[in-house]
Amino acid sequence: MKSKRAIRESVWTRLQEHKLARFPFPIKNRIPNFKGAEAAVELLRQQSFYQKATNLKCNPDSPQLPLRLQALKDGKMVFMAVPRLREEKCFICLDPHKIDSDDYRKASSIKGAFDFGHPVTPQNMPVIDLISAGSVAVRRDGARIGKGGGYSDLEFAIGRELGIITNKSVIISTVHDEQVVDESWEIQPYDIPLDHIITPTQVIKCKSPHMRPQGIYWDLLKPEMKESIPILTSVSDKKY
């Protein structure tokens, strides 16, 4: 069994050596912006769960920009997490009906999302149909490894606590084929399992061996997160 850190390092190195990554550089300590992200989105668009989805939650990472853009073009509401959840209104709502179609590309970027979208608290979000979780490495059974910050897992946990993420919410990750690995690593209770992995060449339906987190595991939460993420206070107050 390998450490998550060792697997991240291996994937980052492999993508660099094979020239499969693109700006921003360096890709180390990032969700890598892989070549073929647009092709992965085209495969995703062919899936019935994407076509049925109305509300999409997406990370702000660069490789998810093509998905944010395409979702707007397809008339879906996009909720992008504020980096590091540093605001009380920790999601940006991008409503394709309130943005000129000529501005969709700008709105899909991190900066553009703040310019064209409006901030919302999770309490004011609708139920999420589709979740796109940025990944450094994924396994065919649905296990994933992010860049190590824990924010995707926490966004999911907050959504579960507030009821905007349900058992019917579909969880996917778009990655390069070289990010699909066979190694084993320790699964934590708060780790998000994937339902589908989408690469530029294939759609992998996952049969996850571990359960979805049911909410926030407060005793496992990093102390620095408790201090720096405002929304946790109101979620905690609601719970207790």
* Res 240: pLDDT: 42
* Boundaries of domain holding 21: 4-239
Nearest Cα to Cα of residue 71 among 4, 131, 160, 9? 131
C-alpha torsion 175→181→183→189, nearest 10: 30
DSSP 8-state code for residue 12: H
**Separation of CA 9 from chain center:** 20
Q: What is the mean pLDDT of residues 165-183?
A: 97
Q: What CATH number did the domain enclosing 114 receive? A: 3.40.50.10420
* Res 237: pLDDT: 63
| Cα distance between residue 131 and residue 228, in whole Å | 24
* pTM assigned to the model: 0.94
> Could you read off the pLDDT of 8-62 as tens digits, one per residue?
999 999 999 999 999 999 999 999 999 999 999 999 999 999 999 999 999 999 9
- Which range, of 135-139, 167-171, 223-227, averages the lowest pLDDT? 223-227
Nearest Cα to Cα of residue 238 among 81, 123, 121, 91? 123
Q: Name the token pair of 78.
A: 């996009």
Q: What is the mean pLDDT of residues 101-120?
A: 96
| Tally of structural domains, the chain | 1
Terminal Cα distance for the chain, rounded:
38
Q: What is the mean pLDDT of residues 153-171?
A: 96
What are the Cα distances from residue 119, in Å, to 88, 108, 113, 164?
Answer: 9, 15, 9, 16
Q: Is the pLDDT of residue 198 over 80?
A: yes
Residue 238: band (very low, low, confident or very high) from pLDDT cuts 50, 70, 90:
low
Please provide the DSSP assignment of 126-158 as one string: PPPSEEE---SEEETTS-EE-SSS-HHHHHHHH
